[in-house]
Structure 1
Amino acid sequence: MNPLNDLGYKADDLTVQVTELLVATSDASDELVDQSVFDVLRLLRERMKMDVVFVSEFTEGQRVFRHVSQAPDSPVISKGDSEPLERSWCQRVVDGRLPRFIADATAHPASAPLLKGLPFPIGTHISVPIVLENGDIYGTLCCFSFHPQDQPNIEDLKNLEFTARLAAQKLDQRRVVRKAPQAVPDWQLKPR
């Protein structure tokens, strides 16, 4: 029984499917977690009709692509690729120089000049920060299409925000597990 169904969500709602994929693997091995993240990104890309969806991490002044789902016929980025954070659209979204939702990047005054330096086109662009429990920014969850969508949907921004919150929770859980001590300390009383 799924409690989201009791709230009026249908099994094919994007929110339900994302929740089931990310929450169902919360106690699983890293391999299953990585697969669930890929499945979520593929689902988002297909449902939102985007060409590329990715999770990036901000680390040591770089934006590193940790998970990527893209149209098979048009690969433009790869898992593990990186670039200076300051040059990225992700950093510009986080610090407010770009909005989270851009229906047409070619027509938006803040994004249009940035298109000239890219090796691929960007039409519709949506990006949200992944904020950890302690307030740190892990990175971003982003998606874009190569051409502006005919009917861009602002609800897609809400779907990404929801997914980014779940991803942050998953990252926080994994960090707690990794920080757990390997052995329980010996608490026996010993003579001095």
Structure 2
Amino acid sequence: MASALGRLLAVLSAAISLPAAADEAPSEPPPPGRLTLTLDGSGAGTLFAVGAGSRLRLEAAVARSLSVWAGPQLRLIASGFLHSESVITPEIAIGARWFPDGSAPEGFNVGLHGSAGQGSYHYENKPLFFGETTQEDGSGFTWSAGASAGYEWISKGGFCFGLRLEVTHGTISLRDHENDVLVGLGYSIGGVL
């Protein structure tokens, strides 16, 4: 009987101390842990090429100031005038973004990203005045790597919208195996999961 009473007192004292422990603030807030799913779009260019891209991005806040993301991406690139090439490339893209104010995945951020895939191209050589247009089709490995800076808004209802400046170095010509830097603007639209 005494041991049963001792156990009952131990359970009661533990139950009384639980609310007090719940009221104590943790020393460091846990990571937000929010997942977002967004559709991203971008447009970029150089003097010799223009590109557009779209990706589906699943992003997770892995720490208060850091998020990582991954998803499928489609890049379209057109280059040249008389000698023109169009590249269509499905890729897998990954990236990470740093949020200096500790609010990942919302607020001002800077990030790094990369992608790789297998693309196809169509090349045309159009003579200026006389001659026959020649055409060629093919495929090859594509890649890109770059950096971005932007701002991501998340509403109380969980709607996400973002704008960013991107600088990307990667494949612009599969036929001639050329790489170049593309600079452009991007957006994202989606929601919190």
TM-score (norm 2): 0.29
Q: Which structure is larger by alpha-carbon Rg, 1 or 2?
A: 2
- Could you say which structure has the higher strand fraction? 2
